[in-house]
Amino acid sequence: MSDDRQQKAFPVSWDQFHRDARALAWRLHGFGPFQGLICITRGGLVPAAIVARELGLRLIETVSIASYHDYKNQGETLVLKPIAQAVIEAAGEGGRGLLVIDDLVDTGSTARQVRAMLPNAHFATVYAKPLGRDVIDTFITEVSQDTWIYFPWDMGLSFQPPIRDGVA
């Protein structure tokens, strides 16, 4: 969840997300070919579908991780489902040849946890914040650490009061 440390909002529409994920696929094309794609759920599911379509990848595995962004559990992560051993064994040493996709990197805790499982895989996110940027090999757009990214699957259309009525 967003909290008051996040002073800036960066809302992303479906259209923009599709364009940014496709731009990521263009960039990744130069680093391939990849043998398979590991998607960090849940946020990585949407960019993974777009990138897999663009790069023709059909071997797709998930690693399920929940991270906590509240004051008490800052940086903590929980692995709910690990990467299948068969997929790790099908790849090169340390996951070489695998592509790991997530929607964003923030503190870097989630990506670091997966990096420990696949040190030689190629890590990619659509968006990145400074604290986690170094864990990622390829990303498209960087936002400041105090920005909260609002993804289209977390938002809905809502009525906006006219400007002359003021903000509540």
Ligand X SMILES: O=P(O)(O)OC[C@H]1O[C@H](OP(=O)(O)OP(=O)(O)O)[C@H](O)[C@@H]1O
Ligand Y SMILES: O=c1[nH]c(=O)c2nc[nH]c2[nH]1
Query: Is residue 81 classed exposed, middle or buried when 0-12, 13-18 and 19+ CB atoms within 10 A define those classes?
Result: exposed
Q: Is 67 in the site for ligand X (CB under 6 A)?
A: yes
Query: Is residue 61 classed exposed, middle or buried when 0-12, 13-18 and 19+ CB atoms within 10 A define those classes?
Result: buried
Is residue 104 annotated as involved in ligand binding? yes
- Angle at 42 (CA atoms; ends 126, 80), nearest 5 degrees: 130
Is residue 163 annotated as involved in ligand binding? no
- Specify the residue, 80 or 84, whose C-beta has the smaller distance to ligand Y: 80
Q: Is 108 in the site for Mg ion (CB under 5 A)?
A: no
In sequence order, the 6+-apart residues with CB closer than 8 A to the CB of 114 are 38, 40, 63, 65, 100, 121, 123
| Residue 8 φ/ψ region, left for φ over 0, alpha for ψ in the -120 to 50 degree band, beta for the rest | beta
Q: Is 151 in the site for ligand Y (CB under 6 A)?
A: yes
Residue 106 bears catalytic tag: yes
Residue 154 bears catalytic tag: no
**Smallest gap from residue 107 Cβ to ligand Y (A):** 8
Q: Is 25 in the site for ligand X (CB under 6 A)?
A: no
- Contacts to ligand Y from residues 57-76, by CB under 6 A: 69
Classified as helix, coil or strand, 36 is: strand
Q: Is 102 in the site for ligand Y (CB under 6 A)?
A: no
Can you say how many angstroms the Cα of residue 53 is from the centroid of all Cα atoms in its chain?
17
**Of 28-36, 115-123, 130-138, 149-157, which segment contacts ligand Y by CB under 6 A?**
149-157
Residue 103 bears catalytic tag: yes
Binding site for ligand X (CB under 6 A): 40, 42-43, 66-67, 102-111, 132
Binding site for ligand Y (CB under 6 A): 69, 104, 106, 148-149, 151, 154
